[in-house]
Structure 1
Amino acid sequence: MSSPGQPTWSRWVIIGGTLLAVLLIGATAGMFVTRAVDDDPAAAAPAAGSVEVGFAQDMSTHHLQAVTMAGIARDRTTDQEIKQLAFDIERTQLEQIGRMKGWLMLWDQPEQSIGAPMQWMKEPMPGHDGMAMAPSSVNPSGGALMPGMATDADLTKLRGLSGRPFDVFFLQLMLRHHQGGTAMAEYAAAHSSLPALKALVNSMLTSQGAEMDQMKLMLSGRGAQPLPA
């Protein structure tokens, strides 16, 4: 924590540097793990359109929106519980983004998928209405959205709020975002044999599961409910 006399700009510079370091650490870890796999002549790098590549591309994009929303909350809220949750989400998901981008770099794949997202999720996902996962909605500005992602209108509304209404809407958006990401992660783990991916998914499900429980309690404590599925 900063000392009472430490300027606000200095505190945010320190936080920004910390988050950048987390991203770089994740990228280094992802490249190291993938390089170890590449050293095995029996292990071929995942190809474009595979579950592994599609998951790394789409989940990185999905995570980046969570980081954006968390950054808004960290800067805007006066609730220390919300600030801490937002910082934890930024730190955890930036490290995971780094890992996935490290994989994509060593697999010689672009950071973002070409065309509509979720093309790698072709089979039915048990527990999700028996249907193959698909973009959950379409942004008015163009482009399909992955499960749980906020629309441009949602983000504009979030930026226009303050106080308790801001805190509640942030929790509602982030809870829905985590729920959508969980479905994607479960699908990837069920359809990939890559140990590094399975380990990352396990980490995601553990951290996001705890955060979802926390956000539900925080919403209840503020007299609010989650958004409709």
Structure 2
Amino acid sequence: MRLNRTQWASVTAVALAVLFAGGAVTVASADRDDAPRTPTAQSADAGFARDMAVHHQQAVEMSFVVRDRTKDEEVRRLAYDIANTQANQRGMMLGWLDLWGLPKVQSGVPPMTWMGMGTDLGGEDGELMPGMATRAEIEQLREASGREAEVLYLKLMTEHHKGGVHMAQGCVERCAPGVERDLAQGMVDAQESEIRLMADMLKARGA
């Protein structure tokens, strides 16, 4: 049977529609393959969120302690900035774990395992992450006052920041591209800047 022009145009339109529909399905499938996947409990993304939330909590604690142990406005302002920033970041990371449906604490897994460091941690205070103060050091900060408290806080926080930078850099290298890796890079930049500031503050206090 021969087709007239109208019939031929209709057949051609249907054929093209089928081809375009097939292409759309292929593209959609490709988009799904490339879409971000929810991190697993063992991923660098989840490990960083869990460990840095704990790391940040201690920085917030020390900052609140020194705020009440000195009247020096420069140190109090720095402590407020660190406490405010890290409390907000901690909330973000815990929120991500909730969003991913992952536990905030992973029993039986040492901290920093996602960086290949879990078995290297230990000491009298258990599995402390790099830069974290011991219980004895925090108690010493609670008992200090004035210049002694300022110097001790600046020294403890400098080491705390160095450990934080190390961990954040690990996320920059291992976490999936996205907001978490961007946050980690922001931590590296901000805490390195604060390390330089604290070095100047220690020097000004003869320490």
TM bin, normalised by shorter chain, reads 0.7 to 0.9
TM-score (norm 2): 0.79
Is residue 132 of structure 2 the alignment partner of residue 156 of structure 1?
no
Aligned residues: 174
For residues 158-177 of structure 1, the aligned pairs below 5 Å read: 158-177=141-160
Structure 2 Cα separation of the partners of residues 61 and 89 of structure 1: 15
One-letter code aligned to 1:192: C
For residues 111-150 of structure 1, the aligned pairs below 5 Å read: 111-115=104-108, 116-122=110-116, 132=117, 136-140=121-125, 143-150=126-133
- What is the match of residue 215 of structure 1? 198
Is residue 45 of structure 2 the alignment partner of residue 62 of structure 1?
no
Once the two structures are superposed, what CA deviation does each residue of 1:110-136 show, in whole Å capped at 9, x if it has no partner?
A: 1123232111112xxxxxxxxx57655
Is residue 58 of structure 2 the alignment partner of residue 75 of structure 1?
no
Q: Tell me: CA distance 1:83–1:190, structure 2 relative to 1, closer, same or farther (3 Å).
A: same
Once the two structures are superposed, what CA deviation does each residue of 1:35-85 show, in whole Å capped at 9, x if it has no partner?
A: xxxxx8532200011100000000000000000000101122111100000
One-letter code aligned to 2:180: L
Is residue 79 of structure 2 the alignment partner of residue 86 of structure 1?
yes
Is residue 94 of structure 2 the alignment partner of residue 101 of structure 1?
yes
Structure 2 Cα separation of the partners of residues 61 and 74 of structure 1: 20
Q: Tell me: CA distance 1:75–1:102, structure 2 relative to 1, closer, same or farther (3 Å).
A: same
Bigger proportion of residues as helix: 2
The question of whether the paired residues in 2 share the 8 Å contact of 1:118 and 1:133 is answered with yes
One-letter code aligned to 2:103: P
TM-score (norm 1): 0.72
Once the two structures are superposed, what CA deviation does each residue of 1:198-220 show, in whole Å capped at 9, x if it has no partner?
A: 11012211221221111000001
- Identity over the aligned pairs, expressed in percent? 44
1:199 to 182, 188, 207: 182
Deviation at 1:98, TM superposition (A): 1.1
Moved over 3 A (4+): 132-137
Structure 1 Cα separation of the partners of residues 80 and 121 of structure 2: 27
Structure 1 gaps, min length 5: 1-39, 123-131, 225-229
Structure 2 Cα separation of the partners of residues 134 and 86 of structure 1: 32
The question of whether the paired residues in 2 share the 8 Å contact of 1:135 and 1:147 is answered with no
Q: CA RMSD in A?
A: 1.6
Structure 1 Cα separation of the partners of residues 75 and 45 of structure 2: 33
One-letter code aligned to 2:113: Q
Q: Computing the radius of gyration over CA atoms, which structure comes out larger, 1 or 2?
A: 2
